[in-house]
Amino acid sequence: MDANLQKYQAFVRTAELGSFSKAAAELHYSQSGVSRMVADLERDWQVTLLERRHGGVRLTSDGTKLLPLAKSVVAEYGKLQMEVDSINGLQSGLVRIGTFSSVAPSWLPNVIRRFQAEYPAIDYEIMLGDYAQIETWLLEGSVDCGFTRLPTHPDLEATFLEQDKLMAVLPLEHPLARLPRFPIAALQDEPHLLLENGTRAEVSQILERSGIVPHVHLSTWDDHAILRMVQDGLGVSILPQMLLEQVTHDVAVRDLDVAAYRNICIAVRSRKSASLAVKRFLDFMEWR
């Protein structure tokens, strides 16, 4: 769906349901994504559409005037898109996706659920790998689109999606868990459990800037193994916030005392030459 139409849809459902969170649940977006789309629309139109209140939202007078027109645009666009897709043969297809482990459970289920509601005949193939593998698959044509980090290979077209903060993970009883921020210099002496798939490059850059040579006690591609070992007191680790949002282990999570992020993007070899199904999927992903 066109980005502007997604904004209209977010406005319409938020106004009708009286809540960003309810609209997000129905549309299969994040709450922050719906809020951002409505805010973008208000900025584009230079009006305030919704009055934000504790526990929900309600229409302003300008929003009340514009809501019926926005609803009409969304409905008519739906009819138009169905006709266009029918002409172009988007009745079947395959979207091959390369991804690293934390994106697979965090973003893909909601995006695929929402995409499948509009295009039920599209199938999916998901391949898990690290950044380098995913970029190689894209360049070789083994996947149609892939999640990786910026900067990407110069022959790829990438769209920034989100900045994902890196966090320190410690045993609950660790002395440094009492601090509000984990001192990065502590990795000089603490046993470091390194996640190969997802943080090695970023952590290496942070340590190099800080002049620290870590004591890497263990490295693995398995994030659950890392978390279990931290829980059992075998060391500390630095992991992305996106992954930690799904953690059920008993560990302490702290901000680092230095700014540390990874910039997540979705990349393709060429958006212009991508199949219609892939182009539609990219549209959905960019406004997840």
Number of domains in the chain: 3
The answer on 133 and 245 residing in a single domain is no
The answer on 238 and 169 residing in a single domain is yes
Q: Residue range 170-175: average pLDDT?
A: 92
Return the axis-axis angle of helices 31-45 and 20-27, rounded to nearest 10°: 110
The answer on 28 and 15 residing in a single domain is yes
* Integer CA distances (angstroms), 120 to 90, 93, 114, 244, in order: 10, 10, 10, 32
* Percent with pLDDT over 70 in the chain: 92
Q: Residue range 221-230: average pLDDT?
A: 84
Q: Is the pLDDT of residue 200 over 80?
A: no
**CATH code, domain with 54:** 1.10.10.10
Q: Residue range 58-82: average pLDDT?
A: 86
**CATH code, domain with 112:** 3.40.190.10
Task: Note the pTM of the prediction, 2 decimals.
Answer: 0.65
Number of H helices, E strands in the chain: 11, 12
Round to whole Å and give the CA distance between 240 and 218: 18
The answer on 276 and 150 residing in a single domain is yes
Q: Residue range 235-264: average pLDDT?
A: 85
The answer on 152 and 271 residing in a single domain is yes
Higher pLDDT, 120 or 198: 120
Could you tell me the two tokens for 13? 């459902």
The answer on 257 and 167 residing in a single domain is yes
Q: Residue range 211-220: average pLDDT?
A: 79
* Integer CA distances (angstroms), 83 to 89, 122, 130, 258, in order: 10, 17, 39, 52
The answer on 217 and 78 residing in a single domain is no
Find the range with the poorest average confidence among 32-36, 87-91, 104-108, 262-266.
87-91
| Highest mean pLDDT out of 55-59, 87-91, 209-213, 264-268 | 264-268
Last residue of a domain, one of 62, 88, 114: 88
Round to whole Å and give the CA distance between 78 and 75: 5
**CATH code, domain with 183:** 3.40.190.290
Higher pLDDT, 129 or 47: 47
The answer on 81 and 54 residing in a single domain is yes
Q: Residue range 188-217: average pLDDT?
A: 78
The answer on 277 and 136 residing in a single domain is yes
Write down the mean pLDDT value for the chain.
Answer: 85
Q: Is the pLDDT of residue 266 over 90?
A: yes
Q: Return the SS3 of 227.
A: helix
pLDDT at 279: 86
Residue 9's domain comprises 3-88
The answer on 207 and 66 residing in a single domain is no
Q: Return the SS3 of 239.
A: strand
